[in-house]
Structure 1
Amino acid sequence: MPDGLPLPRPSRPPRFGVNYTPARGWFHHWLDFDLGDVRADLDSIAALGLDHVRVFPLWPVFQPNRTLIRPRAVEQLVALADAAAERGLDVAVDGLQGHLSSFDFLPAWTGTWHRRNIFRDPDVVAAQEEYLTTLAAALADRSNFLGMTVGNEINQFAGAPHPDPDRIDAAQAARWLERMLAACDKGAPGRFHVHAEYDAAWYQDGHPFTPAQAARLGAATTVHSWVFNGTAQRHGAAGTATEHHAAYLIELAKAWALDPYRPVWLQEVGAPAPLVPPEGAARFTEATVANALDCPDVWGVTWWCSHDVSRELADFPALEYDLGLLTNDHRVKPAGAALARIAASWRGRAHRPPPRSTALALDVGGAEAAPGRSVCGPGGAFFEAWAALTARGQRPAVVLAELARDPAHLSARGITEVLHVHDVTGTA
Structure 2
Amino acid sequence: MPPAVRFGVNYTPRQGWFHHWLDFDLDSVRADLDAIAGLGMDHIRVFPLWPYFQPNRALVRPRAVEQLVALVDAAAERGLDVNTDGLQGHLSSFDFLPAWTRTWHRRNLFTDPEVVDGEAHYLRTLAAALAGRPNFLGMTVGNEIAQFAAPPHPDPDPATPEETGRWLERMLAACAEGAPDRLHLHAEYDAVWYQDDQPFTPAQAARLGAVTAVHSWVFNGTAQLHGRTGAATEHHAAYLVELSKAWATDPARPVWLQEVGAPAPLVPPEHAAGFTRATVTHALDCPDLWGVTWWCSHDVSRELADFPELEYGLGLFTSEGVLKPAGAVLAEFVRERRARPAAAPAPRTTALVVDAGDDETAPRRSVCAPGGPVFEAFARLSADGARPTTVLASRAGDPAHLAARGITETVTPEAVLGRSATARPVDSPALRPAVPTAVPSAVPFTQSTESS
CA offset at residue 349 of structure 1?
1.7
| Distance in 1, Cα, partners of 2:218 & 2:250 | 28
1:262 aligns with 2:261: no
| Distance in 2, Cα, partners of 1:204 & 1:170 | 13
CA offset at residue 296 of structure 1?
0.4
Letter in 2 for 1:23: R
- Does the aligned pair in 2 maintain the 1:225–1:269 contact within 8 Å? yes
1:363 aligned residue: 355
Letter in 1 for 2:385: G
Find 2:18's aligned residue among 3, 6, 27. Answer: 27
2:353 partner SS? strand
1:95 partner SS? strand
1:164 aligned residue: 155
Q: Counterparts in 2 of 1:15-414, with a 5 A limit?
A: 15-347=6-338, 349-414=341-406
2:407 aligned residue: 415
Letter in 2 for 1:361: V
CA offset at residue 350 of structure 1?
4.5
- Does the aligned pair in 2 maintain the 1:14–1:351 contact within 8 Å? no
State the Cα deviation string for residues 147-204 of structure 1 (Å, max 9, x = none). 0000000000001110000000100000000000000000000100000000000000
- Does the aligned pair in 1 maintain the 2:85–2:139 contact within 8 Å? yes
| Distance in 2, Cα, partners of 1:36 & 1:130 | 30
| Distance in 2, Cα, partners of 1:136 & 1:351 | 34
- Does the aligned pair in 2 maintain the 1:98–1:151 contact within 8 Å? yes
| Distance in 1, Cα, partners of 2:155 & 2:208 | 27
- Does the aligned pair in 2 maintain the 1:74–1:135 contact within 8 Å? yes
Letter in 1 for 2:384: R
CA offset at residue 125 of structure 1?
0.4
- Does the aligned pair in 2 maintain the 1:12–1:351 contact within 8 Å? no
1:321 partner SS? helix
Stretch moving more, 265-274 or 348-357: 348-357
CA offset at residue 421 of structure 1?
1.1
2:428 aligned residue: none
- Does the aligned pair in 2 maintain the 1:358–1:415 contact within 8 Å? yes
- Does the aligned pair in 1 maintain the 2:150–2:197 contact within 8 Å? no
1:6 aligned residue: none
| Distance in 2, Cα, partners of 1:201 & 1:336 | 29
Letter in 1 for 2:106: R
- Does the aligned pair in 2 maintain the 1:45–1:306 contact within 8 Å? yes
| Distance in 2, Cα, partners of 1:378 & 1:267 | 20
Letter in 2 for 1:395: R
For structure 1, the 5+ residue unaligned runs are 1-9
CA offset at residue 426 of structure 1?
1.9
| Distance in 1, Cα, partners of 2:415 & 2:153 | 38
| Distance in 2, Cα, partners of 1:206 & 1:273 | 29
| Distance in 1, Cα, partners of 2:419 & 2:242 | 24
| Distance in 1, Cα, partners of 2:153 & 2:343 | 38
Q: TM-score, normalised by structure 2?
A: 0.92
Letter in 2 for 1:364: A
CA offset at residue 116 of structure 1?
0.4
Letter in 2 for 1:390: S
| Distance in 2, Cα, partners of 1:424 & 1:20 | 40
- Does the aligned pair in 2 maintain the 1:12–1:350 contact within 8 Å? no
| Distance in 1, Cα, partners of 2:404 & 2:100 | 48
Stretch moving more, 348-357 or 202-211: 348-357
Letter in 2 for 1:426: G
- Does the aligned pair in 2 maintain the 1:266–1:302 contact within 8 Å? yes
- Does the aligned pair in 1 maintain the 2:373–2:414 contact within 8 Å? no
1:16 partner SS? strand
- Does the aligned pair in 1 maintain the 2:213–2:257 contact within 8 Å? yes
Letter in 2 for 1:46: A
State the Cα deviation string for residues 308-363 of structure 1 (Å, max 9, x = none). 00000000000000000001121110000000001111127245001111111111
Letter in 1 for 2:408: T
For structure 2, the 5+ residue unaligned runs are 421-452
Equivalent pairs, count:
419
- Does the aligned pair in 2 maintain the 1:78–1:139 contact within 8 Å? yes
Runs in 1 of length 4+ with deviation above 3 angstroms? none
- Does the aligned pair in 2 maintain the 1:12–1:349 contact within 8 Å? no
Letter in 2 for 1:285: T
| Distance in 2, Cα, partners of 1:337 & 1:250 | 24
1:393 partner SS? coil
1:7 aligned residue: none
